[in-house]
A and B are shown apart, each in its own frame.
Chain A
Amino acid sequence: MTRFFAGFARSVRWLEDGLLIGVFAAMLLLAGAQIVMRNFFDAGFAWIDPLLRVLVLWIAMLGAVTATREDRHISIDVLSRFAPPKFLPLLKRIIALATSLICGLLAWHTFRFVRDEYAWSDVEIAGLPVWIWQSILPLGFALMTWRFLFAVVFPARAEPGT
């Protein structure tokens, strides 16, 4: 059972990293291609610009998921620097619990947003319906919810096997 979980966690991690790096590489190449097209051939592709913009959203969400995994979100962090170390695990658990709750709410409500778009919108980006691109919102928040819930149980480590 533990081995199954460790394997599962590893696959999720691998998927997150792969997606993040893949999306970044695509962004860099597309932005470069667009500049070449525009300046040397005087004709950019109309579909690249909206695609680049939505890829920034993907980078934002995937980067935030990775920041969650490594416990590197931007925070004020006054108390934990000056609080007695023995309270730290407890504080971290409380924070992780509250944050997972908020991420869970965000995942649910952004999911409802995407569902509405799926039903009503016929906008396309790079040939795909817009809801596919927007689905990174609930997906990203769901992943963050799972990471923070994990940190409630294991406050010291980001995840097993790391």
Chain B
Amino acid sequence: MKILVGGFLLLLALIGMPLFAVIAGSAMWNFHAADIDLSVMGIEIYRIAEMPILLAIPLFTFAGYVLSESGAPGRLVRFTRAFLGWMPGGLAIVALAACAFFTAFTGASGVTIIALGALLYPALNQAGYPERFNLGLITTSGSLGILFAPSLPLILYGVVAQQMSEGASISIDDLFIAGILPGLLMVVMLSAYALWVNRANRMPLEGFDWRRAKAALRECAWEIPLPFVVLGGIYGGFFAVSEAAAITAIYVIVAEVFILGEISWRRLPGIVRQSMILVGGVLIILGVSLASTNFLIYSGVPQKLFELIRGAVESPLGFLLLLNVFLLVLGAILDIFSALVLVVPLILPIAAQYGIHPVHLGIIFLANMQLGYSTPPVGLNLFIASYRFDRPITEIYMATLPYLGILLLSVLVITYVPALSLGLL
């Protein structure tokens, strides 16, 4: 009976049942089978209201959506262009840097491809880069930057890990720092690839020009302080992560609505709605997964899983390899948010027994999941790019393949060089 219900839910999940319902269904079934009163579901979901850090999620997401609706994407492109455009292959690097920055704020929900891709893709084509190269570049860049603060997946990993309270405490602040070098590694490796592909045709976009740089700087005067407010405020000890989120949200409204006037008052409710659909979709999954996770721990699944793996894999290195393979497959099937809330509670205690630092594990997890965004057949970025640029999905598959290779390489480096994640802590 148990297997039957489980299989049925899995089938429903595969044909597209909302994942929160799949998770809630399996949690309720398990509690029922263990003779636990189902009003426990209320207790578990209500735990959403007991985690102060969650406040940061709606506020940062809203700020990201406001930015993407304003003229900020265009200004960001002009800004990076003025400062990086003089390099050979400059525009490709501009695209990577701008996407990474933007995704950190919008949380890789496809907004980057839609808001920035629309500007960068024609510009890259115009500058004479091969079309397939551009298509792949924009598609993979759509999730580049989830390792940078204050990205939503980074915060969510911290939230889930804190719930586990296994040994070493893990703070969101640490995660924000740990993501910097691995994130930069990805940007640098992709940039190097872009330079190498276009080595025959080294086109500096334009010379560096002080006047243009100053104009771009002035134009971005309201957006440039943002990363400093967020990171500086948190690490300077001025405010907590959720306070930084509130300040960012208010700041963005003041700058884009009142000062720059790029978004009218009337559009704000619509932006709230659109961004809160994403937030609601993620948080409801978190809520019901608190219940299912609690059941898993209650029935000792992580420990059993650990003993199972222990039998097959002795060394931490072997475990990491297994983890990489597992996460790559997972990322190709599940979206990053569901994967986080479902799988992190299982692997965190196991990884801890192999001596892997929870912060490092988080960076490994997210880096792998980032690949999943562009992995065929169901990576989200592939569909968004196919839709946005009106190309058959198979063409997008082919175009992103070399980028996937580069990212895979960077994921391996991130996995096997813990110092990259932990060195700055």
Contacts and interface: CB of A to CB of B under 8 A. Distances in A.
Contacts of B276: 20, 24, 59, 62-63, 66
B186 interface: no
Main secondary structure of the interface of B (DSSP, over half): helix
Given A70-B277, A102-B21, A52 B55 contact: yes
B378 A81 contact: yes
A132 interface: no
Contacts, number: 198
A139 interface: no
Interface string A27-63: 1100110110001000000000100111011011111
Given A17-B273, A73-B18, A74-B18, A60 B41 contact: no
Contact of B55 (A31, A61, A74, A112): A31
A158 interface: no
Specify which of B18, B57, B59, B249 lies most central, judged by the most chain A CB atoms within 10 Å of its CB: B18
Interface string B12-45: 1111111111001100100000000011011101
B123 interface: no
A61 B277 CA distance: 10
Contacts of A20: 272-273, 276
B16 A91 contact: yes
Nearest to B15: A79
A112 B37 CA distance: 10
A117 B392 CA distance: 54
User: Chain A at the B interface: mostly helix, strand, loop or mixed?
Assistant: helix
A102 B281 contact: no
Interface residues of A, number: 60
Contacts of A65: 280
Interface of B: 12-21, 24-25, 28, 38-39, 41-43, 45-46, 48-52, 54-55, 57-59, 62, 238-239, 242-243, 245-247, 249-250, 269, 272-273, 276-287, 333-335, 337-338, 377-378, 383
Given A73-B284, A109-B38, 11 more contacts: A20-B272, A31-B243, A35-B239, A39-B238, A53-B54, A60-B279, A78-B14, A79-B16, A91-B16, A92-B16, A102-B21
21 contacts: A24-B276, A28-B59, A28-B62, A32-B246, A49-B52, A52-B52, A53-B54, A59-B279, A59-B283, A60-B279, A63-B58, A63-B276, A63-B280, A64-B20, A74-B19, A75-B13, A78-B377, A80-B16, A95-B15, A99-B18, A102-B28
